[in-house]
Amino acid sequence: MTDIGKPNLEIFAETLLNQAKQNKDIIAVTSDSRGSGKLVTFGNELPDQIIEVGIAEQNLVGLSAGLAAGGKIIFAVSPASFLTARSFEQIKNDVSYSDHPVTLVGISAGISYGQLGSTHHSLHDFAALRAINNISIVAPADNFEAAEVIKKAVSYEKPLYIRYGKKPMMNLPRKNSNFEISKASIIREGKDLTLVATGETVQRAYLASLILQDKGIDVEVISMHTIKPFDNEALINSINKTKALISIEEHSVYGGLGECCSSIISQGEFNTKFKIIGIPDEYMINGTQADVLDHYGMSPEKIADTSVALLA
């Protein structure tokens, strides 16, 4: 049986509201995005702790840097597609280079917006932000991680980008109930195969592990919620005990989780079978998030098939 929770985006908004009620320095900054960011209640309950800039993402990020420089604890909330592309230079210069601890919240990330098309998809955000110095990148998998990362972000002293999807997520089991940015969550332990995933694809990896379990394959599932700084140790520990590794991400196959793993494997000279599953470099097929992920090999069944083939 699977335990279905809420959309991570709703958990973000609830957690931020609770934190902000206890700390008047917390301010949400939005770009006509309080509805899509589930922050309508926040705006109603704490009107003095929300700044609205309208549809102006460059200004959203620059202004957020200024507020952070003034000592405020800033959560700049905007669709991930626009936040990490339209205001890329503000993230690079005004937040990261200038070292203001703004938390950038990319909402409806990946292909959450489904049929709205590539203008609204963020399949570039890991790759783009990984190449910027001095910013951490987190994609929480389930409600637990979605809430914990916001609590950590309140006192995080560096620029931080957090990516949220909008579909209800399974509440995943985990080996350890501590959450730390840059420390991977071990969802289940196994000895035959490692499935490492991030964000909303972790539940797909977990469901694949249940299918594989029925086939007698013992799978380790890792939620690599932090893309940067990457938890090299967690990955290395896992591939040292399993026979193969598959990475799964709602992101381009270029520059994301898979290539993080690839870099570690090749530079560490680990001899493991390895496969990256993500969005290929092609004109994207249209559909719901679920249909598109399934199409690109991320249904639990397809992940299980790929796993069996890789281990053969």
Partner 1 sequence: MSNNIKYLEQKSLEYRKTTLEIIYNSGAGHTGGSLSCLDILNVLYNNILGITPENFSSSNRNQYIHSKGHSVEALYTVLCDKGFFSKSDLDTLNNFNSHFIGHPTRKIKGIEHNTGALGHGLSVAVGMAISKKINGSDKFVYALLGDGELSEGSVWEACTSASKYKLDNLVVIIDRNKLQITGKTEDVNPIEPLDKKFESFGFEVNIINGNKIEEILQSLELIPFKKNKPNVIIANTTKGCGVSFIENQVSWHHKVPSEGEYKIAMEELNKRLK
Residues that bind partner 1 (CB under 8 A): 27, 48, 51, 53-54, 56, 58-59, 61-72, 89-90, 93-94, 97-99
Give the residue with the Cβ less far from partner 1, 37 or 62.
62
Give the residue with the Cβ less far from partner 1, 53 or 147.
53
Q: Are strands 4-7 and 168-170 parallel, antiparallel or unpaired?
A: antiparallel
Nearest 5°: phi and psi at 193?
A: -150, 145
Q: How far is the CB of 124 from partner 1 (least distance, A)?
A: 20
Contacts of residue 141, defined as CB under 8 A and 6 or more positions apart, other chains included, come to 169, 172, 185, 187, 197, 198, 199, 200, 202, 203, 223, 225
Give the residue with the Cβ less far from partner 1, 69 or 116.
69
Q: How far is the CB of 106 from partner 1 (least distance, A)?
A: 19
Q: Are strands 193-197 and 219-223 parallel, antiparallel or unpaired?
A: parallel
3 state DSSP class of 301: helix
Q: How far is the CB of 156 from partner 1 (least distance, A)?
A: 19
Cβ atoms within 10 Å of 26's Cβ, excluding its own: 22
Give the residue with the Cβ less far from partner 1, 66 or 168.
66
Q: How far is the CB of 129 from partner 1 (least distance, A)?
A: 17
The per-residue b/e assignment along 183-193, b for 16 or more CB within 10 angstroms, e otherwise, is ebbbbbebebb
Nearest 5°: phi and psi at 228?
A: -150, 130
Give the residue with the Cβ less far from partner 1, 100 or 188.
100
Contacts of residue 48, defined as CB under 8 A and 6 or more positions apart, other chains included, come to none
Give the residue with the Cβ less far from partner 1, 51 or 311.
51
Give the residue with the Cβ less far from partner 1, 133 or 155.
133
| Tokens of residue 255, six digits | 């520059």
Contacts of residue 232, defined as CB under 8 A and 6 or more positions apart, other chains included, come to 264
Q: Are strands 103-107 and 73-79 parallel, antiparallel or unpaired?
A: parallel
Give the residue with the Cβ less far from partner 1, 90 or 194.
90
User: Which is nearest to 110 in space by CA: 244, 8, 216?
Assistant: 8
How far is the C-alpha of 79 from the C-alpha of 12, rounded, in Å? 14
Q: How far is the CB of 59 from partner 1 (least distance, A)?
A: 4
Sequence-ordered strand ranges (E) for 17-68: 26-30, 50-52
